[in-house]
Amino acid sequence: QVKAGYASADGYEKNWRPETRRQWAVSIPICTSMAKHYQARGINCLVDLYATPEDFNNWKQELIGVDYELVVILPSRETVKRRNAGRKHPARLSDKKVEEAHRNIMPWASAGIRVVDTSEHQVRDTVKMLQSAAE
């Protein structure tokens, strides 16, 4: 049952359990397979996900043979906290979880890849930046 692995922001810490992790692991080859199919047909594909550099190793294995560019969207911690505070329940994470998540992705800032700071940009502007980079 897929619902068994669902983890909402509400009670995230207690909802992220072994079944959730197992289903997340299953989603990686499914998502990368879709990207491969799109690319094979000449269609650009953007995969939006939260992944630490360590987590991305699983994705890299599945992306072998795919021509991709990794771009990390990394707004400031203050921006992430402000955006999260504007979310409605149940999508809002605890301040502690936001701090932890941001701390976990900070290694991307020094990973030698393209990092886009979206602190001062709306979603529409970020999309335009990414589209321009892909052309």
Give the per-residue pLDDT at 116. Answer: 87
Give the per-residue pLDDT at 93. Answer: 85
Give the per-residue pLDDT at 62. Answer: 92
Lowest-confidence region among 8-17, 49-58, 92-101, 114-123: 8-17
Give the per-residue pLDDT at 1. Answer: 43
The pLDDT tens digits of the residues spanning 34-77 come to 999 999 999 988 888 888 898 898 899 999 988 888 889 899 99
Rounded to whole angstroms, how far apart are CA atoms 122 and 62?
A: 31
Helix (H) or strand (E) holding 40: helix 18-40
CA distances from 102 to 23, 36, 70, 107, 112 (A): 23, 29, 18, 10, 18
Give the per-residue pLDDT at 126. Answer: 86
